[in-house]
Amino acid sequence: MRYIRAEMVRNNRTESEFAIGTGIHAIDCLRYLGGNVAEVETIRTPYEDPQVRDYLVRLRFQSGLIADLAILVCAGLSRERYLVQADNKMMETTVGSHYSSPFCTKGERAYADNAVVFDDPVEEDPLTAGGFLGEHLAFLDAAEAGERPNCCLQDAQHSLKLGVAVYEGYSGLIDDFVPAQGDPYVK
């Protein structure tokens, strides 16, 4: 992979904690794809109510991979889209069900050599589309095999730290981030 991007676009999601409460799912996805984050750069753009903000985030992973994340809370539509780019290849996924407005094009598309490699329709079941079913099945498989699941509390701690850093508008090395509130769960 050379580059990844996530867009979490929503209509009138004006609760101040949206970036950490819901945006953390996009952060989790980017971390799943890219690994551990070394550095974060955050730009917060407030609305009339300064507690309501859009977030533009650049992540630099320990591997050198770059990712961009846009959390736009009052965009006039809902859409959740992910993009992965590699040498002369790209894949994009737009999540369906409750995560994207009905008029948005949804599904998975892959491209290579200036051609569409596949174009699959979206999964509309909200438990599958949101990843909940897959995460639960992977957890149960790991438990049955006596292995540590790849999604665990230790892993969630990293995403939570990133989510709080983004929420607070932090830019810098993630290892240097100290939450303003001194949250004991973010170390």
- pLDDT band, residue 61 (cuts 50/70/90): very high
Q: Which domain holds residue 151?
A: 3-175
pLDDT surpassing 70 at residue 110: yes
Give the per-residue pLDDT at 139: 79
The helix/strand/coil state of 94 is strand
Give dist(CA 156, CA 59) in Å, integer.
17
Within 10 Å of residue 143's Cβ, how many Cβ atoms?
Answer: 11
How many domains are contained in the chain?
A: 1
- 163 lies in a domain? yes
**Where does residue 156 rank: exposed (0-12), middle (13-18), buried (19+ CB within 10 A)?**
middle
Residue at 182 is within a domain: no
- The domain that holds 39 is classified in CATH as 3.30.360.10
> CB of 42 within 8 A of CB of 56?
yes
Evaluate whether residue 185 is within a structural domain: no
Q: Read off the pTM.
A: 0.86
| Residue 106 within any structural domain of the chain | yes
